[in-house]
Amino acid sequence: MFKQLRQETSLYLSDFMSHSVLNELRKSWTMESPEKQASLAEQFLVASSADALDRVLEKPKKLEHGHLALPLFPFAKVLRMGPPQLAALAAGLLKAKLQEAQAEKLGLIGVEPAGGFLNLTFSDRALQQRLFGALVNEGERLGYSTRGQGKRIVIDYSSPNVAKPMHVGHLRATVIGQAIRNIAETQGYEVIGLNHLGDWGVQFGKLAWAYKEWGSQYDFKNKPFQSLFEIYVRFHEEAEKSPELEAKGSMVFKNLEDGDTAIAEIWKMFVDISLVEYQRLWDLLGVKHDLVRGESFYNSRLKVVEEMLEKKGLLEQSQGASVVNLGEEMPPCLIRKSDGASLYATRDLASAIYRKEDLKADLNLYVVGVDQSLHFKQVFKVLEKCGFEWAKDCHHIAFGMYRFKEGMKMSTRKGQVVFLEDVLNQAIERTAEVVAEKNPNLSAVERASIARDVGVGAVAFNDLLFDRVKNVEFDWDRILSFEGDSGPYVQYMYVRCASLIRKYGKEPKMTTDRTLSAPEERELVRVLMAYDDILETAFDGFKPNVLAQYLLEVCAVFSRFYHNNRILGEEASVEESRMALVRATKEILHQGLKHLSIRTPEFM
Ligand code: ARG
């Protein structure tokens, strides 16, 4: 696709610049000393290497400016020549070569100087060959790269807290994390998805105490998770009235940390109940982890961490607690509380070391809300102070919070927290209504399945559509709209393609022979070709929104193509060629959404 086109063009232009252009330039250098000439030529050749060209070749925003543009600034700088002047010279030379076999093979058909750029245009056939060739040959691995080959990424996402329902913040940690994971895989990385389950800490002492005290009053058999959350809430309510409960909870946690097996059994039950609950949501959202490594997993490793910090002279005592001081920039990192209990940060230190030493992570990513930025800064800083050179490979992939529109109706069971499950259920219900209206002939089973894919997809797409660091507004009308910048809109375009193919009655042949006649066809080819580049860019910034925005662009271009051109019923060769574009669009929408863990129903 596009990367291939750029690579081949770089090779071609490298040859062109270092021979044709350089030879022409040499003619004007005869006044210079031989040393000067040699040095100019050498610098010019460095700038002409295929690698250098591959890096600087640009993709013009508008098709009028061609498919690729070569900036001549790097060359002009060497020569102390005006870039437009050089562009004019190079364009003249290149035009004369367009008839040659090499240019023809590349598919280069036009070259225009524009300011300090050479704008290059390629033939429809050449572009379609690269696009359709990739589509047919690469299949489900369309647009994949081998950049990450041999490298391993450990990525921590979703990671909810046992006994508590996931809230919309976890939606982001889940959906963004899974998307980054999928996109990393397209770049050839081996990925280990880690669930850093919040299954340790003093709250488990409280919960175990509450369970022993009140457990029998709740229906743990039939509603285990709900009961668990209810005793959690009850404990906190009662502790407000009777603060001595806190101490009881802390004591039970201390016993748990010291290895009390009876409490450990209760704790284990809490974890199991919670995992069953979360699994339902993960299934719904298409989320998969490879390993559950809850905070408790690191218990046996905390001592080693402390000893290491001690040995390196980093551990200090402060009011009975152990801390690592981090200088002026940030508060000290708390390692152990005065009552001897370990902390979130201690467990994250042990976890980071585990990811590097045991899991052999080349990159260690944490998809967690921006509200934990300080925590990760501290943890990474401590690792750096320990002298771990790999601390630089640890990244907090932060995301902003949800903003709910004023007066929005959103059922919450308690306080300000909006539960993920409620959001998903509402999305599914609302979608079911729309689907029933739009398509009354569907069976109940079909409708339910479409409502699920579209409703859940809508919420996920909205989450992925914006720069992750920014806060997102939660607006049902926009999220569920079938026309706007929404998940349902993308799925709807997919369905449109699928339905065209059904009507066409056979798998479209990927013909490349026809010269495209409509501007929308060219625009569509161009945007579809960018797919591999988009995956790369999305990975580089850990930005799934790059992919989501791109899919909207594909839809917009496809929609113009669809509305302004006849497809079915056209003369056979035109019909065939347009159907090939439909198939390509369908495939890219499908795969793009798949990398965002969003499903594509065949009708809706
Ligand atoms: N359990 C935490 C929460 O729900 C997120 C854990 C993130 N990962 C980590 N390694 N600290 O806020």
- CA distance readout (Å), 111 to 8, 29, 123, 154: 16, 26, 12, 45
Q: Which residues line ligand 1 (CB under 6 A)?
A: 156, 159-161, 196, 198, 348, 351, 366, 368
Average pLDDT over every residue of 262-267? 97
Residue nearest to atom 6 of ligand 1 (CA): 159
**Ligand 1 nearest atom to the CA of residue 160, by list position:** 4
Give CA–CA dist 500/603, Å, rounded: 11
Helix (H/G/I), strand (E/B), else coil: 300: helix
pLDDT at 254 over 60: yes
Mean pLDDT, to the nearest integer, of 416-439? 90
Is 155 a residue whose pLDDT tops 50?
yes
Task: Enter the pTM of the model.
Answer: 0.94
Query: What order of strands is seen across the sheet that includes strand 117-122?
Result: 68-71, 117-122, 108-114
User: By the 8 A CB rule, do 127 and 107 touch?
Assistant: yes
- Output the DSSP codes for 523-558: HHHHHHHTHHHHHHHHHHTT-HHHHHHHHHHHHHHH
Question: CA end-to-end span of the chain, whole Å?
Answer: 31
What confidence category does residue 413 fall into, taking pLDDT thresholds of 50, 70 and 90? very low
Contacts of 73 (CB under 8 A, 6+ apart): 83, 116
Q: What share of the chain is helix, strand, coil (3-state, %, to 5)?
A: 60, 10, 30
Q: Give yes or no for residue 212 having a pLDDT over 60.
A: yes
Residues sharing a CB contact under 8 Å with residue 14, sequence separation 6 or more, in sequence order: 48, 49, 50, 53
- Judged against a pLDDT cut of 60, whether residue 453 lies above it is answered with yes
- Ligand 1 centroid–CA 289 distance in Å is 14
Quickly list DSSP for 322-337.
EEE---SSSPPEEEE-
- Can you tell me the distance from the alpha carbon of 422 to that of 165, in angstroms, rounded to the nearest whole number? 10
Is 252 within 8 Å of 205 (Cβ atoms)? Answer: yes
Question: What value does the mean pLDDT take over residues 391-409?
Answer: 84
Alpha-carbon span 132 to 531, nearest angstrom: 12
Dihedral sign for Cα atoms in the order 10, 15, 20, 24: positive
State the Cα–Cα distance between residues 22 and 231, nearest whole angstrom: 79
- Atom 3, ligand 1: residue with shortest CA distance: 160
Characterise 289 by phi-psi region: left (phi > 0), alpha (psi -120 to 50), beta (else): beta
Q: How confident is the model at residue 359 (pLDDT cuts 50, 70, 90)?
A: very high
What is the token pair recorded at 328? 């002026």
Residue ranges and CATH numbers for the domains of the chain are 2-122 (3.30.1360), 201-287 (no CATH)
Nearest residue (CA) to ligand 1, atom 12: 160
Judged against a pLDDT cut of 90, whether residue 176 lies above it is answered with yes
Q: Which of 473, 197, 220 is nearest to 347 (CA)?
A: 197
pLDDT above 60: residue 412: no
pLDDT, position 416: 57
For 494-513, give the secondary structure using H, E and C.
Answer: HHHHHHHHHHHCCCCCCCCC
pLDDT tens per residue, range 67-76: 999 999 989 8
Q: What is the 3-state secondary structure (H, E, C) of 416-470?
A: CCCEHHHHHHHHHHHHHHHHHHHCCCCCHHHHHHHHHHHHHHHHHHHHHCCCCCC
Encoding tokens for residue 577?
């060629």
- Ligand 1 centroid distance, CA of 210 (Å): 24
Q: What pLDDT was estimated at residue 414?
A: 46
Between CA 534 and CA 595 the distance in angstroms is 12
* pLDDT reported for residue 33: 92
**Cα–ligand 1 centroid distance for 367 (angstroms):** 9
Secondary structure E strands in 265-409? 291-292, 315-318, 321-324, 333-336, 363-369, 394-399, 402-404
pLDDT exceeding 70 applies to what percent of the chain?
Answer: 98
User: What mean pLDDT do residues 585-591 have?
Assistant: 98
- For residue 169, what pLDDT is reported? 83
Radius of gyration of the chain (CA): 30
> What is the SS3 assignment for 155-212?
EECCCCECCCCCEHHHHHHHHHHHHHHHHHHHCCCEEEEEECCECCCHHHHHHHHHHH
Residues 6+ positions from 38 with CB-CB distance below 8 Å: none
pLDDT score for 341: 80
Residues 6 or more apart whose CB falls under 8 angstroms from that of 341 comprise 202, 250, 253, 254, 257
The Cα–Cα gap between 214 and 207 comes to 10
pLDDT band at 81; cut points 50, 70, 90: confident
Q: How far is the CA of 557 from the centre of ligand 1 (A)?
A: 40
- In the chain, what's the furthest Cα-to-Cα distance? 99
What was the pLDDT predicted at 555? 98
* The amino acid at 172: R
Q: What pLDDT shows up at residue 404? A: 78
Span 249-260, average pLDDT: 92
Closest CA to 348 of 323, 379, 370: 379
Three-state DSSP class for residue 366: strand
Cα separation, 463 vs 140, in Å, equals 25
Mean pLDDT within 451-457: 97
Q: Closest residue (by CA) to atom 4 of ligand 1?
A: 160
pLDDT of residue 411: 40
Could you report the per-residue pLDDT of 18-64, keeping only the tens digit for each? 999 999 999 988 888 999 999 999 999 999 999 999 999 999 999 99
Percent of the chain scoring above 90 in pLDDT? 89
Name which residue sits closest to atom 9 of ligand 1, judged by CA.
196
Cβ 491 vs Cβ 484: under 8 Å: no
CA dihedral 431, 436, 441, 444 (to 10 degrees): 70
Q: Which amino acid is at 289?
A: H
More confident: 406 or 42: 42
Most ligand 1 atoms within 8 A of CB, residue of 204, 366, 372 to mutate: 372
3-state secondary structure of 598: coil
CA 197 to ligand 1: nearest atom: 1
Mean pLDDT of the chain: 94
What is the pLDDT at residue 138? Answer: 96
Among 157, 159, 343, 353, say which to mutate for ligand 1: greatest number of ligand atoms within 8 Å of CB: 159
pLDDT of residue 77: 85
Identify the CA nearest to 15 among candidates 42, 43, 53.
Answer: 53
